[in-house]
Each structure stands twice: as structure tokens, then as C-alpha cells.
């Protein structure tokens, strides 16, 4: 994080704009809208800017800039086309510890101005840290179209009832639960429909009838194979509601960061022969947190019901009648295959696909090998890296040809993805010279041969046509 986002109260504070042109006018408008008293210093000043200064209660100095103009100033914006002058303003402000923004020159800034979505009192600021203001504005445009102006009225309604809710609920978590339910239910819909008075009456009734201690709930969330963009909308929504987040080793750090900043985060990852928290203890943690009235997100890599032990984790919850929701995720097989350009099924090569664990509960590889050697079937092995020599040998022994294509996909869908291809007969020696690390997915079948045609984008050659 290059800049810490802050919202500053500028009401009745004297702020200085250095410059008198159109850029200075835009910045001055922003300051005036926030309630600042706008002071301007420049040799030439537009008439509209002169009027704005007068209306804000600020002062106008039609003269060359001098450091004395910084006396009793809270914040400064340098908006001239003279970089040497801008550098001088920046240096003077830094010497006096006055926050300064130099338009289009992040190196000279101690703060930057974001693109803003104004739904007062709700404010949304978007910033690229000065790297790409155009990108920030594009994102603002998307948000503008997706966030109705009614959100401002909703925020005002909530603000008018904050004290009543605080008096009704002593515990901050109870208040948060109440507001989360309110802001996602019929009261909010009344505001969006323009029925603010009805919404206020409903909110008062909800406060009077509310349970002081809402029950806990568990969200079993499939986080997908790694790329945060593969999370579902429901997964994102529930993750950001959670008070506690229990997450696996295979969940990308970027996904964990999407949870609320005040949420408690508990690592319960498991690697081969190294379980940070035993599975039974994880099951009990879900119960314990839920019985405390907390909303618990259980983040699991891939899909929780495909080699994710999700069934075991909700079994105890069901016995105790603790509410839970299961959110499916894109399983590693689908995600890694897609990002590697390997279709799991293809009319000419594979009419079925089979998902198999390469690491049984007892550590053995006692699999139904005879069922896994059909020539028109794709087989995907989860957790099979350690057992790779055995997998290749058993498939060959049970009838698969040694030249059957095979792919190993390391850290699939992430920026660290690595794909190694070969055959059942050659793969063990290939990775001896080109090691791969867990987590790794193994795909066996003729569909692997299609990778050369379908994964051209990995090399960044955008000149080739899409097949």
C-alpha cells in the first residue's frame, strides 16, 4: 500500500490553491464542495475561480507565489503548468509539514486526490496511487452506474438511527449483525423505492423487536483454485459478512485479504504430514465460534465438496442444528485445466472425465486402476505429486500406453502457474530435471495434446487467432 486512504474534514479550514487556470478551478471546486475556505494565489486568475473564492469565504492573491502564503493554511494544492514552481510549493509544504498535492506529479505529493463517487454522506474514493488516474476514473464510471443515488439516502437513514441502535445493543457485534441484516433486507428496498418514511417506520419496528443475541452461522465457501477473480458473488458477499475466517493452505492470500479488516483470521492449513490444526479440531472450531453467535467463514481451496472434506465439517453443525450455507467453488480440475489450455473433455479425445485423489486417507494408492485406463477418458489426480511414479507405473501396468500424454500443473490459475507436459513413460524423469512443487494437479489423457494449440496466450502471442 503506497498511500493510506483517509477522509479529511475541511469545513471552515483555509486551503490554498496555487494556480489560476482551469485545472486550479477543478481542484478548488472540490475543496469548496467539502466546505473549505479556498485561498488562491496566481498572477492570472479565471473569473469563475475568483467568484468561487469569494463564495467560500477564502482569500484571493493575484500575485506571484511566496512561502508566506502558507501561513495558517491546512492543505495545499499546486495546480500550475510550471514544474519548478510546483517543486518549490512542494518543498515549502514539506518543510512546514503541510499536506500538499501537486497535480499530475505524484513524486512531489504528500497526499493524492482520488476519483470520487459521491453519494453523500456515503463517499467512495478510488486511487491508483498516482500511477494511472485514467484507470481510477474508469473504475469510478463503473461504480457510478452500479451504485444508485439512493445509497446516500440510505446512509442518512442509518445515521439518524445510530444512537437508538447503540442503546438497544450493548455489544458491538450485535449492532453490526443488526445493521448487516437491515442493509440487505426490505428496509433498504423501501429506500431504493423512494419510500423513505416507510423505511424509517420499519427500521424503528425492527429495533424494538430485535433479538439482542443473534445466533451464529457458518459459511462453507469454495475459494476456487487460486485466482481471486474466480470467486463467486455469493462467496464474496458471505466472506465480507464473516466475523471469523478459517482458511486453508491452498487459499490465496489475496482472497483472505478480501475479508473484513476487523474479522478474526485463523489459519488451519494442512500439508502432507504437517497439519497445523487437526481436522477434528477444525470441525470443533466451527461449532465453538458459531455457538458464540459469530458468523464464521470456512474458506477452502477449490470446491468444498470435491476432495475438500466439506461434508465432514458440516456434519457436526447439522447434528447441533447450527445454521450453515455451502457455497460451491470452481474446483482445481476445472480452473487449472482451463488456464492451461487443456479441455477436460473433447468430442474426439475424451467423452468422460474422472476426478481421483492421489493420496488416500491411509497414505496408500489403492485405487481402481482398471477403471482409470479407458483410452477415451481424462483422469485428473488431486494431491498426486508424491505418488507420481506409482501413478504412472500403475496406469501403464493396467493397460495405458507409455506414450499417453500427461500434464502437471503447479499453482494453477495464479501468476506462478507452471505447466510441465510429457508422457506416462517420461514424466518421472522430466520432473527429476525440472522439479515442480505442491500444490500440483495431474491430468492424464489425449486432451493434453491440445494444449499446444489452445494455450498460445500463455506466451503472450496475441497475433495468433483464437481457435
Pairwise CA distance, residues 310 & 248, whole Å: 12
Joined together, the cell numbers standing for residue 138 give: 474508469
Chain CA centroid to CA 331, Å: 19
Helix (H, G, I), strand (E, B) or coil at 240: coil
Please tell me whether 131 is known to bind a ligand. no
How far does the chain reach from its first CA to its final CA, in angstroms? 40
Please tell me whether 52 is known to bind a ligand. no
Q: In which order are the strands placed within the sheet that holds 217-222?
A: 264-267, 244-247, 295-300, 217-222, 324-327
Please tell me whether 225 is known to bind a ligand. yes
Please tell me whether 383 is known to bind a ligand. yes
Pairwise CA distance, residues 367 & 383, whole Å: 14
In this structure, the strands spanning 295-300 and 217-222 are: parallel
Joined together, the cell numbers standing for residue 250 give: 491452498
Please tell me whether 406 is known to bind a ligand. no
Collect all residues with Cβ–Cβ distance below 8 Å to 296 and sequence separation of at least 6: 216, 217, 218, 219, 242, 243, 244, 245, 246, 286, 289, 290
Question: At 419, phi and psi to the nearest 5?
Answer: -120, 130
Please tell me whether 344 is known to bind a ligand. no
Collect all residues with Cβ–Cβ distance below 8 Å to 116 and sequence separation of at least 6: 30, 123, 124, 125, 126, 140
Please tell me whether 303 is known to bind a ligand. yes
Dihedral over Cα of 160, 164, 165, 170: its sign = positive
Please tell me whether 43 is known to bind a ligand. yes
* Catalytic residue set: 248, 270
Collect all residues with Cβ–Cβ distance below 8 Å to 44 and sequence separation of at least 6: 20, 21, 62
Question: At 52, phi and psi to the nearest 5?
Answer: -60, -40
Please tell me whether 384 is known to bind a ligand. no
Collect all residues with Cβ–Cβ distance below 8 Å to 347 and sequence separation of at least 6: none
Please tell me whether 306 is known to bind a ligand. yes
Q: Torsion angle of alpha carbons 240, 243, 244, 249, nearest 10°? A: 10
Please tell me whether 200 is known to bind a ligand. no
Collect all residues with Cβ–Cβ distance below 8 Å to 41 and sequence separation of at least 6: 16, 17, 18, 61, 63, 64, 65, 69
Residues comprising the binding site for NAD(+)?
Answer: 22-23, 43-44
Residue list, annotated binding site: 22-23, 43-44, 225, 301-303, 306, 331-332, 383, 412
Per the annotation, binding residues for S-adenosyl-L-methionine are 225, 301-303, 306, 331-332, 383, 412
Amino acid at each position: 500500500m503506497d498511500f493510506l486512504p483517509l477522509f479529511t474534514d475541511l469545513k471552515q479550514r483555509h486551503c490554498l490553491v496555487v494556480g489560476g487556470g482551469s485545472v486550479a478551478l477543478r481542484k478548488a471546486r472540490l475543496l469548496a464542495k467539502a466546505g473549505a475556505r479556498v485561498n488562491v494565489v496566481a498572477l492570472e486568475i479565471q473569473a469563475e475561480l475568483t467568484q468561487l473564492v469569494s463564495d467560500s469565504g477564502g482569500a484571493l492573491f493575484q500575485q506571484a507565489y511566496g512561502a508566506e502564503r502558507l501561513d495558517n493554511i491546512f492543505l495545499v494544492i499546486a495546480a500550475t503548468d510550471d514544474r519548478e514552481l510546483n517543486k518549490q510549493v512542494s518543498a515549502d509544504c514539506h518543510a512546514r509539514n503541510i499536506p500538499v498535492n501537486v497535480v499530475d506529479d505524484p513524486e512531489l505529493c504528500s497526499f493524492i486526490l482520488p476519483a470520487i463517487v459521491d453519494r453523500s454522506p456515503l463517499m467512495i474514493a478510488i486511487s491508483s496511487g498516482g500511477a494511472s488516474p485514467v484507470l481510477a476514473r474508469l473504475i469510478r464510471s463503473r461504480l457510478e452506474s452500479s451504485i444508485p443515488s439512493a445509497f446516500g439516502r440510505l446512509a442518512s437513514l442509518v445515521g439518524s438511527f445510530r444512537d437508538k441502535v447503540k442503546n438497544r445493543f450493548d455489544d458491538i457485534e450485535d449492532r453490526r449483525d443488526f445493521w448487516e441484516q437491515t442493509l440487505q433486507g426490505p428496509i433498504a428496498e423501501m429506500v431504493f423505492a423512494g419510500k423513505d418514511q416507510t423505511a424509517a417506520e420499519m427500521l424503528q419496528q425492527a429495533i424494538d423487536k430485535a433479538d439482542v443475541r443473534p445466533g451464529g452461522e457458518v459459511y462453507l465457501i469454495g475459494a476456487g483454485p487460486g485466482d481471486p477473480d474466480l470467486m463467486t458473488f455469493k462467496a464474496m458477499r458471505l466472506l465480507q459478512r464473516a466475523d471469523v475466517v478459517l482458511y486453508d493452505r491452498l487459499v490465496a492470500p489475496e482472497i483472505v485479504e478480501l475479508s473484513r479488516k476487523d474479522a478474526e483470521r485463523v489459519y488451519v492449513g494442512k500439508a502432507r504430514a504437517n497439519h497445523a490444526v487437526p481436522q477434528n479440531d477444525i470441525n470443533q472450531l466451527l461449532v465453538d465460534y458459531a455457538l458464540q453467535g459469530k458468523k464464521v467463514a470456512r474458506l477452502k481451496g477449490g470446491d468444498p465438496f470435491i476432495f475438500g472434506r466439506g461434508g465432514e465439517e458440516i456434519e457436526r453443525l447439522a447434528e447441533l442444528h447450527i445454521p450453515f450455507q455451502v457455497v460451491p467453488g470452481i474446483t482445481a480440475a476445472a480452473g487449472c485445466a482451463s488456464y492451461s489450455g487443456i479441455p477436460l473433455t473433447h468430442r474426439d479425445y475424451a467423452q468422460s472425465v474422472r476426478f481421483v485423489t492421489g493420496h488416500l486417507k491411509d497414505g496408500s494408492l489403492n485405487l481402481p486402476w482398471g477403471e482409470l485406463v479407458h483410452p477415451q477418458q481424462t483422469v485428473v489426480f488431486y494431491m498426486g505429486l508424491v505418488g507420481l511414479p506409482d501413478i504412472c507405473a500403475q496406469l501403464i501396468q493396467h493397460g495405458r500406453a507409455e506414450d499417453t500424454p500427461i500434464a502437471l500443473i503447479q499453482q494453477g490459475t495464479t501468476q506462478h502457474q507452471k505447466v510441465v507436459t510429457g508422457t506416462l513413460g517420461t514424466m518421472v524423469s522430466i520432473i527429476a530435471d525440472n522439479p515442480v512443487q505442491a500444490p500440483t494437479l495431474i491430468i492424464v489423457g489425449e486432451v493434453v495434446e491440445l494444449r499446444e494449440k489452445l494455450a498460445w496466450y500463455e506466451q503472450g502471442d496475441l497475433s495468433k487467432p483464437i481457435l
